[in-house]
Chain A
């Protein structure tokens, strides 16, 4: 197994609150890696530090063998990590297609000049971006809504659209922040199939999820955070039996579903 992402001693404090305390973990290329933990354990903070939304107070990320820039989200995307959001954050005034095209921004080059002169390279790039966006909409199963304003899509479809938008950045690591939140059983089933497909197509997946059943059924390995510290990391079957994990979920009053 080759590691794709290594978190080394990541720490993050907010005032007196330690949100992440010396968190180290390794995600291997090609796996689905789950990050679980009770509410407030620091999962989303970890996501935000990883994707550059926050600057870590300690530690570093090594991605593909080199240090990941911190605090500069667009450079993290350029390096090959794209994410979705726990609360849907689509560009509400754009169509589904445009949202996906916007996600492809970092992989395109055209400048003002090229756009105004509509030279061949720009037109070709725009055509490829459009084509790719259509393909991604089809990939997540919502091609028929390409020209629909994204806010008109159903909740489940908006979640799919976020995944398509993230994939448009051509990531090596796709980070999903509670993608099943608010989904019914059928939608969650479809989501599971989609994530399996994404892994099959060579994209590594980091999954934060509350739905333990989904995590256990989908992930190759799982890390458990509790009060900002990693308390376990192993294959799902082992983690499930770990006394520290059981006590974090049951004793901590967290909501294990």
Chain B
């Protein structure tokens, strides 16, 4: 029972991060019908930019309180990633707007490799320790469950960001413009929406969320490196598909569910497989889910019928 509760807590934490990244996938898909496979790399750039900022701060202003340091690091990483998201759209995807769907897909994969390689050149191939600016020491256990301050911060900040996004999309002029563009970019433009600006904004918001997720990921595990975006990127994509790609609530739900399944599965995988597998095989769950969803319910948990426009 304690294992289960503990794994539920762990799953919520990881699931929150997946959800933030999944939102970026699903928003871009909703508007362009494009799966931006380079989105995971934005998370990586966010984490490493934050790390770089923290290292710099530790040198020039070592007396700074850790929380302030982290805030500055996020304050640098988010705009950097937003610029990156904007540039990807502006330089690569916009030119491929009318192209057959395979072209932007391959471009996305290419961008993913490009960004990883650039990051490897800048930050090297080694794993970097990400300083624990928010404590990763567990607090007093409650009902036998250990929770760390950084885990609490991750869940709370994710929830706040998601609430802000829901407000933006459902209750504002920009959200209406985004939804209008998602339904029909040509008609939206004829109704006065600058569709290019709205599409760019979608990439920018998604990239900002991924940047925060990157810092969370690095803070939670205490490491950052050039390839760290790949796996969370794929998992978040799985979460988006699980929830119903194109659907915001679906991405959030999918992220949380995936995090829970993965964590709970990892907690019991040894018993389930009669000792054959251990918890380092936990990635199996995400991709089994992806396979099962794609075969039996391609529209996901909350998805409607996927239109042919893609």
Contacts and interface: CB of A to CB of B under 8 A. Distances in A.
Given A74-B192, A77-B192, A110 B174 contact: yes
Contacts of A235: none
B167 A74 contact: no
Nearest to A106: B192
A165 B172 contact: no
B270 interface: no
Contacts of B177: 102, 105
Interface in A87-103: 89, 91-94, 98, 101-103
Given A51-B190, A102-B180, A112-B201, A74 B195 contact: yes
B192 A115 contact: no
A155 to B, nearest CB: 18
A216 to B, nearest CB: 28
For chain B, the bracket of interface size reads 20 to 34
Contacts of B168: 112, 115-116
Q: Which 7 A-B pairs have the closest CB atoms?
A: A106-B192, A77-B192, A73-B189, A115-B172, A102-B176, A89-B187, A73-B190
Contacts of A108: 173
A165 B186 CA distance: 15
B191 A93 contact: no
A105 B173 contact: yes
Contacts, number: 91
Nearest to B304: A93
The residue in B189, B190, B194 that gathers the most chain A C-beta atoms within 10 A of its C-beta is B190
Interface stretch (A60-68, A78-86, A238-246, A247-255): A78-86
For chain A, the bracket of interface size reads 35 or more
Contact of A165 (B174, B183, B191): B191
Given A82-B191, A105-B177, A106-B193, 6 more contacts: A52-B189, A74-B192, A82-B192, A85-B187, A102-B176, A126-B173
A172 interface: no
B171 interface: yes
Given A98-B176, A102-B177, A112-B168, A52 B191 contact: no
Given A115-B167, A115-B168, A169 B191 contact: yes
Contact of A102 (B191, B195, B205): B191
A89 B172 CA distance: 21
Main secondary structure, interface of B, reads: helix
Interface in A194-224: none
B192 A101 contact: no
B279 interface: no
22 contacts: A53-B189, A73-B186, A73-B192, A74-B189, A89-B187, A91-B179, A91-B180, A91-B184, A94-B176, A94-B179, A94-B183, A98-B176, A102-B176, A102-B188, A102-B191, A104-B173, A105-B180, A105-B192, A112-B205, A115-B173, A116-B168, A126-B173
A45 interface: no
A105 B193 contact: yes
A110 B174 CA distance: 8
A114 to B, nearest CB: 9
Nearest to B171: A126
B1 interface: no
Contact of B183 (A51, A93, A104): A93
A76 to B, nearest CB: 8
Given A105-B176, A110-B172, A92 B191 contact: no
Nearest to A48: B190
A52 B184 CA distance: 16
Given A85-B187, A91-B184, A115 B174 contact: yes
Contacts of B176: 94, 98, 101-102, 105
A34 to B, nearest CB: 21
Contacts of A102: 176-177, 179-180, 188, 191, 193
